[in-house]
Structures are given as C-alpha cells and as structure tokens.
Structure 1
Amino acid sequence: MNHPRRLDERARMTVRLTLLCAAARTERDVRFADAPLDERALHRVRALAGAFPRAATHCTAPSRRCTETARTLGWEPVTPQPALRDLDMGSWYGRTLDEVAAADAAGLAGWLADPQAVPHGGESVAQLCDRVAAWLDALPSDAGRVLAVVEQAVARAAVLHALGAPPQAFWRIDVPPLSTVELTGRAGRWNLRMAELPLSPRPPR
C-alpha cells in the first residue's frame, strides 16, 4: 500500500526537460530528408559543448543528424527514442519544398493548412503531435533533468502540448537549428520555461 506522504512527494516531483533542436546542414536547398552534418554544422555544435547542465538522462531522436549532434556534444551514453523521430514524409521524402510545390501544389497547400492531411501518404501533423505528447506524458515523475536532441517538428509538437494549443498552431512556431525548448513537468502538467541565457552560438562569419 502506498503511503499518502510518498504519493504527495511524487506529485511534487518536477521533470526538467531540455529539447535541443538538431544541427542542420548549411546547404541552400533544404530537403525532407536525413543527412550527415557538414563541417560547418559540426563546428557550431562543438561550440555548445559544456553549455548544458548535467542530466540524469540523455536522449536523441534516431535520425543521423540528431545522433551526430548528441555525440558531438559528448553526451554519453545517449538513448535513441523512436517516439522522437521526425514526421514521416512518405512520398515527399528526399524532395525539396520547391520540388513538392511544383509536383503537388494542392497537396502541399492542404498539408500546411490541415493538421490531419496526409497527401504524401506518410504521417499527419496531428499524428506527430499525439505521438510526442504521449512520450512527454510517459516520462517518469522522478526522471529529474532530461536532455534530448530532437527534430524541429518534434520541438514544435512539444510546445503545443505544453501550452495545450491546437495542432493548427504547429506552423506558427519557429524552431531554428540548435535552439532549445525548456519544459518543466509536474503532476501531469507541462509548462514552457524561457531559458535564462541563449545557448546557441552565433553562426561563424
């Protein structure tokens, strides 16, 4: 039988979660795809080494760019989390936004306007938001501080869940590469917390 005092202590436990958006290649044409980081992106990641507080748990999305970001930061051991994977872009995978617009303008417009739309046959924005929300709410109350390298789409979904915002607001959230999202969770509720200092360095000139 659980003691009432112990239950009360667990309810007061706070999960401190930092989501770091993965570094990105510095190429001009951005594709719906995963790719290894180039040297300029790795240089920006190395500049962040030591900028994060100590954590009990280090996680990463399973993509190459996320795992390379985590390893370059020296986060060891780091645990891949399938629930933090990027949005499944289906038949659009590997294409640029301009290529998709040229081939399926109506589908692209519908996808950007409707979180339930799946013109590419992959995963909808609403499905992504549900997946990320489930991962957040499954974190144990005694997890302490958790650091995770995630995709931009996952960071957007996490902010929506913390604020209780509808998936229609997904595209209203800008998440640049190597930016951070600070969340605190307690008793089943998440709060968005502004970072005290910017963690991401300015790109080299």
Structure 2
Amino acid sequence: MTSRVLLVSPAMSASLRQARFDDGGSIDESGAVRARSAAGALPSAARALTSPGVRCRETAAALGLDALPVAELAGLDVGRWRGRTLEEVGAAEPEAVGRWLTDPASAPHGGESVRDLCARVAGWLADAQKLEGRTVAVAEPEVVRAAVVDALGLPDAVFWRLDVPPLTVTALGGRAGRWNLRLGCPLAPSEAD
C-alpha cells in the first residue's frame, strides 16, 4: 500500500511577516486571496486535516477544505515567547535563543523543544502511513519541517535549516516505512497534480 501525505503550509499572516512567534492571529487579506485563488488546486483526498491553529484552519477553509483539526499537527509550543518577535526575544534573552537554535532538546521558553515536536510529528506520520489514500493536511511550517526531518531520517539539528514558504505543498509518498519527498510545490491553480 502506498500512502500519500500532502502538507500545505498556511497562507501569509502578520505573525509570519514580522517573524513573530505565532500569536493565534488570522491570515492576512493577501494570504486569504491567494488561498481562495488556489481552491481546487489540490488533488482529491481521502481525508483533510489541519493544525488547530487559527491561520491553518483559515487557510484550509479558504482552500475549500472541510478539514478536521488534529492536535498532533499543532505548531511548536514556544511558551512565554508566544506573540513576541524573534528580535525582541533575542535582545532580552540572547543566550536562551542561542541555545534554542543550536540544541534541539532545549526549551528555554518553557514550552516544547524541537526534539519533542519532531517526535510528536513522527508519531503522527507513522500513523498516517498506515492509512489508505491521500491525506491533505494544512500544517504550521515547523510541523512541515519536523515531518521532513522524520521522513528522511535526518538529525533533528537540521530542523532550522529547512525553509517552508507560505502556501506551498510538501508531498510525502511511501510504503513499508520509507518515504519519498517532493518539496516546495507552490499551491496555485495550475499546480494541481
């Protein structure tokens, strides 16, 4: 049995534009317009899922997906840094940010470590691989990164070296515990394969 998982990153939001840790804000109007214009571009799927975060749920709705929120697809819990910009946190806690960016097991913000996020997403991906048919999931960029780290068996230190632009599709296809990866496909009406 071949499993297919399409991970769609959310549309642009003020938090993404400002390099702000997700504050639960909505996608912005330009992001909503882009997502609505891409509605119908995704292939049919046996199931549509979304991160429980606002911007992912709004992106899924704009894409015309009746997506079920799944806790395992939640973004990285950054604890007390939530809603602050990386620049603000870096100025106030430079050593903590340095540790966080270089040590995947570190969680100086009091939330979840990158290693814990990668483990959570790996568990979800293992379950998804057992399902027949295609899964489309609108998920935070860090969830997409964690899925790529797991799918390719990469060390979790690689996590920060992966960029996930808004409204792109990362496709995983595989069987028997092995994934193949197709990265960064723009989500646009002409890109629906």
TM-score, normalising length from structure 1? 0.86
Structure 2's unaligned 5+ residue stretches are none
1:26, 1:41 within 8 Å by CA — same for their partners in 2? no
After superposition, the C-alpha distances for 1:156-176 in whole angstroms (9 at most, x for unaligned) are 000011110000000111101
Offset of 1:53 from its aligned partner? 0.5
2:12, 2:30 within 8 Å by CA — same for their partners in 1? no
Counterpart residue number, 2:147: 158
Counterpart residue number, 1:59: 49
Bigger shift: 129-138 or 178-187? 178-187
Percent identity (aligned): 50
Paired amino acid for 2:187: L
2:129, 2:174 within 8 Å by CA — same for their partners in 1? no
After superposition, the C-alpha distances for 1:102-128 in whole angstroms (9 at most, x for unaligned) are 110010011000000111010000000
Equivalent in 32, 41, 50 of residue 31 of structure 2: 41
| Distance verdict in 2 for CA 1:37–1:183, change over 3 Å | same
Equivalent in 116, 124, 132 of residue 135 of structure 1: 124
Structure 1's unaligned 5+ residue stretches are 1-12
Q: Distance in 2 between matches of 1:125 and 1:194?
A: 21
1:26, 1:40 within 8 Å by CA — same for their partners in 2? no
1:155, 1:175 within 8 Å by CA — same for their partners in 2? yes
SS state of the match for residue 182, structure 1?
strand
How many residues are matched? 187
1:20 matches 2:11 = no
Query: Which has the greater radius of gyration?
Result: 1
Paired amino acid for 2:151: A
Q: Distance in 2 between matches of 1:105 and 1:142?
A: 43
Q: Distance in 2 between matches of 1:90 and 1:194?
A: 29
After superposition, the C-alpha distances for 1:28-70 in whole angstroms (9 at most, x for unaligned) are 4231122111211101111211111011100000000000000
1:168 matches 2:157 = yes
Bigger shift: 117-126 or 138-147? 138-147
1:109 matches 2:98 = yes
Counterpart residue number, 1:177: 166
SS state of the match for residue 94, structure 1?
coil
Offset of 1:142 from its aligned partner? 3.8
| Distance verdict in 2 for CA 1:145–1:123, change over 3 Å | same
RMSD, aligned α-carbons: 1.6
| Distance verdict in 2 for CA 1:121–1:26, change over 3 Å | closer
Paired amino acid for 2:121: V
SS state of the match for residue 32, structure 2?
helix
Paired amino acid for 1:180: V
Counterpart residue number, 2:135: 146
SS state of the match for residue 6, structure 2?
strand
